[in-house]
Each structure stands twice: as C-alpha cells, then as structure tokens.
Amino acid sequence: MRWTGASERTAKNWIAGSHGPSGEHLISLLRNSDEVLIGLLTLAGRDQAIVALRLVEMRDRLAEIRQLIDVVLDGDGQV
C-alpha cells in the first residue's frame, strides 16, 4: 500500500489474485520489490534479464563483504 498509494482493499485483492494492479501500480511495485520484478521477468520469459539482475546483486554484496574484510584486517592485512 505504501509503495503504490493503493487502498488496503485494493492490495488485498492483488494478494488474493482476484484483481491485478493497474499499470501505474505495477510500475511502483516493480521499483520497490525485486520479487515482483523477478516474477514479471519470469512470466515474460526473460531469464537472461534475471541472471543479469542476480549478477549485479552478487557484485554489490561482494563489494560490501570486501569492505567488511578490509575493516577487520585494518586495510593492511593485520588483524
């Protein structure tokens, strides 16, 4: 509801599967939810786009992990 500005009843209808979001609401959901984006790409048969999305996520996570390792090692290999 927060992401789209839709009412509680509207959101419950989406979750129940009795109605789908409008185009504007769908775009808002796609902006805010990787799960919705991946679901849409899966339904569209865009597996390569999903792979690319996952690679970007992994790259970003690895960069975060590297920063944590540098902090632990004090940047010069010393613990």
For 8-54, what is each residue's pLDDT tens digit?
Answer: 898 898 889 899 898 899 999 999 999 999 999 999 999 999 999 99
Average pLDDT of the chain is 90
Does residue 57 lie within any of the structural domains? yes
53 within 8 A of 34, measured Cβ to Cβ? yes
pTM of the model: 0.64
Does residue 14 lie within any of the structural domains? no
- pLDDT of 75 > 90? The answer is no
Q: In this structure, what token pair is assigned to residue 37? A: 């984006």
* Residue 70 belongs to domain spanning: 47-79
Q: How many domains does the chain fold into? A: 1
Query: Which residue intervals of the chain are DSSP H helices?
Result: 8-16, 23-32, 34-43, 47-72
Does residue 69 lie within any of the structural domains? yes
Q: What CA–CA distance (Å, rounded) separates 42 from 57?
A: 17
